[in-house]
């Protein structure tokens, strides 16, 4: 049974959900999500003999929402993971992340390989640092219309999304799913100047089978404090690029697994298809080839829980020996 509590980590308080006993597995959600995005994984992983812990990461849900935007840098986020592992009484853990949680997992393995026994990323591949700040690159490539640039306009997306969180989340989850019209066509998420993003998203009359009204209710409730904390992660993209200069060209050396959906918009971002194809050569300890989920959109562990659970269990039990 999943239990909930608050825990002091890295100078803030995090809400965590946990179940099971055994080697620690930390599950890191993405945007716009919460610990609940892993609700299909708790039972199978804990039944296999793992201690499963999923936090609401900083700026999300019942966890603290620091006011200072600079407190959402990748170094803070990695610090939260390392602090969480220590606060749970462990020295090492397996770290799994989806969407924004994937870069946090990858960077935890990159910066602190001494505390990571294995790392898995869903949707977002490993962090090979580019040659220029990411916001500047997208500004140049898409004339400032890429959604990262839209999110970096202070207060704009915050107000749009908070107006009706339930509608915001319903549209987001359908738009980026494998069920949406045009999913998998490689269309970039662009917002025209002077417009909001939600007005261009389809609003489904019926939710996909994998995303229930209960799921939507739980998720909407977790954004009762608004979206600013979550959006502040994007407002650190260029700062993260500056902070990680010392790791230019570095690779993740701990055992690694990458899973993605073939209808996900993220693996179609500029340069990402080529990166995924090259991962077996770039990653010295990549555990088998990347796992490609047919017909799956962005929300991998929710859209394809059985396949994701099988991949994670094979990976984790193999490492555990």
Angle between helical axes of 74-87 and 101-111 (0-180°, round to 10): 80
Is there a catalytic annotation at residue 68?
A: no
Prior bond to 32 cis, omega within 30?
yes
142 CB-side CA count, 13 A: 19
Chain center to CA of 28: 6
Q: Give which of 25, 140, 1, 28 is closest to 88, Cα–Cα.
A: 25
Active site residue: 39, 65, 98, 298, which one? 298
Active site residue: 99, 158, 179, 264, which one? 99
- Which residues make Cβ contacts (< 8 Å) with residue 244, sequence separation at least 6? 74, 107, 127, 129
Instruction: Provide the 10 A C-beta neighbour count for residue 114.
Output: 9
Please, what's the largest Cα pairwise distance for the chain? Answer: 55
**How distant, in Å, are the alpha carbons of 29, 208, 242, 315 from that of 121?**
11, 24, 23, 12
Structure tokens at 283: 């990653």
DSSP per-residue codes, 192-257 = -TT--SGGGS---SS--TTS-HHHHHHHHHHTTT-SHHHHHHHTTHHHHHHHTGGGTT----S-EE
Is there a catalytic annotation at residue 99?
A: yes
How many angstroms separate the CA atoms of 278 and 186, rounded? 19
- Return the CA Rg of the chain: 18
Residues catalogued as catalytic: 99, 298
């Amino acid at each position: 049974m999943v239990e909930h509590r608050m825990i002091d980590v890295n100078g803030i308080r995090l809400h965590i959900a946990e179940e099971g006993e055994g080697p620690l597995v930390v599950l890191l959600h993405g945007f716009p999500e919460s610990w609940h995005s892993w609700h299909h994984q708790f039972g199978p992983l804990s039944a296999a003999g793992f201690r499963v812990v999923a936090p609401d990461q900083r700026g999300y849900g019942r966890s603290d929402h620091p006011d200072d935007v600079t407190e959402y840098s990748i170094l803070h986020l990695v610090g939260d993971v390392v602090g969480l592992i220590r606060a749970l009484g462990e020295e090492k853990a397996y770290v799994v992340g989806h969407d924004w949680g994937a870069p946090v997992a990858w960077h935890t393995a990159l910066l602190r390989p001494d505390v990571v026994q294995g790392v898995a990323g869903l949707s977002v591949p490993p962090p090979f640092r580019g040659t220029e700040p990411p916001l500047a690159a997208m500004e140049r490539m898409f004339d400032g219309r890429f959604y990262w640039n839209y999110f970096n306009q202070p207060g704009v997306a915050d107000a749009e999304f908070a107006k009706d969180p339930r509608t915001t989340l319903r549209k987001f989850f359908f738009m980026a799913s494998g069920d949406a019209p045009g999913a998998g066509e490689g269309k970039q998420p662009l917002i025209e100047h002077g417009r909001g993003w939600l007005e261009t998203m389809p609003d489904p009359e019926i939710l996909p089978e994998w995303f229930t009204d209960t799921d939507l209710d739980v998720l909407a409730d977790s954004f009762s404090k608004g979206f600013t904390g979550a959006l502040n992660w994007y407002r650190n993209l260029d700062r993260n690029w500056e902070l990680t200069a010392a790791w230019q060209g570095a690779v993740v050396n701990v055992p690694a697994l990458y899973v993605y959906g073939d209808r996900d918009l993220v693996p179609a971002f500029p340069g990402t298809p080529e990166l995924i194809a090259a991962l077996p050569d770039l990653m010295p300890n990549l555990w088998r080839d990347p796992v490609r989920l047919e017909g799956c959109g962005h929300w991998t562990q929710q859209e394809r829980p059985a396949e994701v659970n099988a991949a994670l269990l094979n990976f984790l039990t193999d490492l555990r020996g």
